[in-house]
């Protein structure tokens, strides 16, 4: 059993807020954007989601780690967040699938974590004042720290919109994942989740995964049935090479997109994106489909959105909206060769209301 005073931790926000808590995971100091996720479960999937690159993840549900960690729940090969924040981290998980504790997982992956602080207050602060940069430091209880040095380290950290986080997680290799061969789709990897790949392959799609800056002429030479743009981290405006490729592919081949993929498709069509005050992260976001009137609950993880008014000057149509703040949740073009959603229809974790998005993409490939 870990001793309560074995490690200490400190969380410093850019507005000067300092919180002291108990340290878990790895000893060290990390800096990133502090973001909150409102899901009650799915901490393993969230930790390993490449869309969280460059961010310190805070869970609003107070009890994390109670069912342990299982490698089958990974969305990538490793933890992608910079640090982890929770009200309480369970040290003795109780679940037949558990392979290790959350603390052990964080320590093995070199990720600092803090517990025992007021995450409710931090969430309210983010909602009122907007998302902030933060430094998380975990250190031995007998170690003295220089708070001024930590503050200086935070000041030096650039604005998140100036960092290409996709480059930090980029895989240069091309991967082929075979299914039944019913369709062949090239997936442009901006930080794809395993669950998205699984949803495609389970529908008979052979998936070829290529880096985000893979040239469009190479894609067209392979004559795939469609192209899919994945989720990923950071400001979409930075990903200029992918935006250029999409512009050259649209109207020549069916295109699908999820999360960052939707934003890149919108930018390629001439629309604009903006940074949300505190983003959408969780598994309880209500989305309305404008054609059917149906409302469903979705899983989301994004800090940027497409500007509503900017769509008027493009050939895209808004198909779905978020009922909390009326931001865009779905887009399609007028000849029905493009379909994209802002939420995560693979819903891992989350409700399965939105799995049909992949069926609609398959319908487009069939036509």
Which residue, 274, 291, 261, is CA-closest to 325? 274
- Domain end marker among 98, 124, 157: 157
Instruction: Characterize 321-336 residue by residue with b for buried, 16 or more Cβ atoms within 10 angstroms of its Cβ, and e for exposed.
Output: bbeeeebbbbbbbeee
- Are 72 and 153 contained in the same domain? yes
Selecting among 33, 115, 329, 344, the annotated active-site residue is 344
The CATH number given to whatever domain includes residue 356 is 3.40.50.880
The reply to whether 109 belongs to the active site is no
Extended beta strands in 141-194, E state = 175-177, 183-189
| pTM, 2 dp | 0.96
Domain count, the chain: 2
**Tens digit of pLDDT at every position of the chain (367 positions):** 444 458 999 999 999 999 999 999 999 999 999 999 999 999 999 999 999 999 999 999 999 999 999 999 999 999 999 999 999 999 999 999 999 999 999 999 999 999 999 999 999 999 999 999 999 999 999 999 999 999 999 999 999 889 999 999 999 999 999 999 999 999 999 999 999 999 999 999 999 999 999 999 999 999 999 999 999 999 999 999 999 999 999 999 999 999 999 999 999 999 999 999 999 999 999 999 999 999 999 999 999 999 999 999 899 999 999 999 999 999 999 888 999 999 999 998 888 889 999 999 999 999 8
- Are 197 and 315 contained in the same domain? yes
Selecting among 82, 115, 259, 329, the annotated active-site residue is 259
Cα gap 168→36, rounded to integer Å: 22
Residue 115 covered by a domain: yes
- Are 134 and 209 contained in the same domain? no
Residue 1 covered by a domain: no
Taking the CA atoms of 303, 309, 310 and 312 in sequence, report the sign of the dihedral they define: positive
- Domain end marker among 100, 135, 157: 157
Taking the CA atoms of 70, 102, 83 and 149 in sequence, report the sign of the dihedral they define: negative
Provide the phi-psi class of 171: left if phi over 0, else alpha when psi is between -120 and 50, else beta: beta
The CATH number given to whatever domain includes residue 118 is 3.50.30.20
Give the 3-state secondary structure of residue 286: strand
Structure tokens at 291: 């054609």
The reply to whether 344 belongs to the active site is yes
Where in the sequence is the domain holding 332, given as residue range(s)? Answer: 167-366
């Amino acid at each position: 059993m870990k001793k309560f005073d074995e490690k200490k931790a400190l969380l410093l926000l850019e507005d000067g807020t300092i919180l002291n808590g108990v340290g878990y995971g790895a000893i060290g100091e990390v800096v990133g954007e502090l973001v909150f996720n409102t899901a009650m479960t799915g901490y393993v999937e969230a930790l390993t989601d490449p869309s969280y690159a460059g961010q310190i993840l805070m869970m609003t549900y107070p009890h994390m780690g109670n069912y342990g960690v299982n490698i089958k729940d990974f969305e990538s090969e490793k933890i992608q967040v910079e640090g982890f924040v929770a009200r309480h981290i369970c040290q003795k998980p109780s679940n037949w699938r558990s392979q290790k504790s959350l603390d052990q997982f964080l320590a093995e992956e070199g990720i600092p974590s803090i517990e025992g602080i007021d995450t409710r207050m931090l969430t309210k602060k983010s909602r009122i004042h907007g998302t902030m940069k933060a430094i998380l430091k975990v250190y031995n209880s007998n170690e003295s720290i220089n708070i001024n040095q930590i503050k200086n380290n935070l000041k030096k950290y650039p604005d998140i919109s100036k960092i290409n986080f996709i480059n930090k997680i980029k895989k240069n290799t091309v991967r082929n994942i075979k299914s039944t061969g019913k369709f062949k789709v090239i997936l442009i990897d901006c930080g794809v989740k395993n669950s998205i790949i699984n949803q495609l392959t389970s529908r008979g799609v052979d998936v070829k995964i290529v880096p985000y800056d893979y040239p469009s002429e190479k894609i067209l030479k392979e004559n795939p049935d469609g192209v899919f743009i994945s989720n990923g981290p950071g400001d979409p405006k930075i990903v200029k090479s992918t935006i250029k490729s999409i512009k050259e592919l649209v109207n020549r081949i069916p295109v699908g997109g999820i999360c960052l993929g939707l934003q890149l498709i919108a930018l390629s069509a001439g629309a604009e994106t903006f940074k949300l005050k505190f983003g959408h992260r969780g598994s309880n976001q209500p989305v309305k489909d404008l054609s059917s009137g149906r409302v469903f609950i979705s899983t989301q993880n994004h800090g940027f959105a497409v500007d509503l008014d900017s769509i008027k000057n493009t050939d895209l149509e808004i198909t779905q909206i978020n009922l909390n703040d009326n931001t865009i949740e779905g887009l399609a073009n007028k000849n029905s060769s493009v379909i994209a959603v802002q939420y995560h229809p693979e819903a891992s974790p989350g409700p399965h209301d939105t799995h049909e998005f992949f069926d609609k993409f398959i319908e487009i490939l069939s036509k």
